[in-house]
Amino acid sequence: MEFGNELRLLKENAVTFLTTVKEGRNMECKKFRTELREVKFRINMLMSDYLELKEKNIALQKQVYVVKSSQVEFGNLKHEIGRLQKDMDKNAEKNMKEALESLEVSESLPVNVIS
């Protein structure tokens, strides 16, 4: 009969052990599910942040494009202003020479011809 008792004790120990293992596994599953929910939440937050940063980046790239275009336009205008200033200087010099020549011609004319 002692063999029967030992067998029964072994079965009880096995059941207790398996129950303990099962409870441990259940707790691990709950822990992993909780961690999984947290990871999914973090992924969603990171995706949201990523999309927001992506939109900001696009907006900044557009601003950079506008600034670069403005710089090119400014450079072109600056060059054009320089060219126009040179033209004005040439015209002013030409007008000055013509005025001096006209003055010299009028001074060389006899007085009665001027009137």
9-59 pLDDT, tens per residue?
999 999 999 999 999 999 999 999 999 999 999 999 999 999 999 999 999
Residues 79-98 as b/e (b if ≥16 CB within 10 A, e otherwise) read eeeeeeeeeeeeeeeeeeee
pTM: 0.56
Distance from C-alpha of 16 to C-alpha of 25, rounded to nearest angstrom: 14
The three-state secondary structure class of 110 is: coil
pLDDT digits (tens, 9 = 90+) for 62-111: 999 999 999 999 999 999 999 999 999 999 999 999 999 888 887 777 66
Distance from C-alpha of 33 to C-alpha of 39, rounded to nearest angstrom: 10
**In one letter, which amino acid is 28?**
E
| Mean per-residue pLDDT of the chain | 93
Per the CB < 8 A criterion, the answer to whether 100 and 108 are in contact is: no
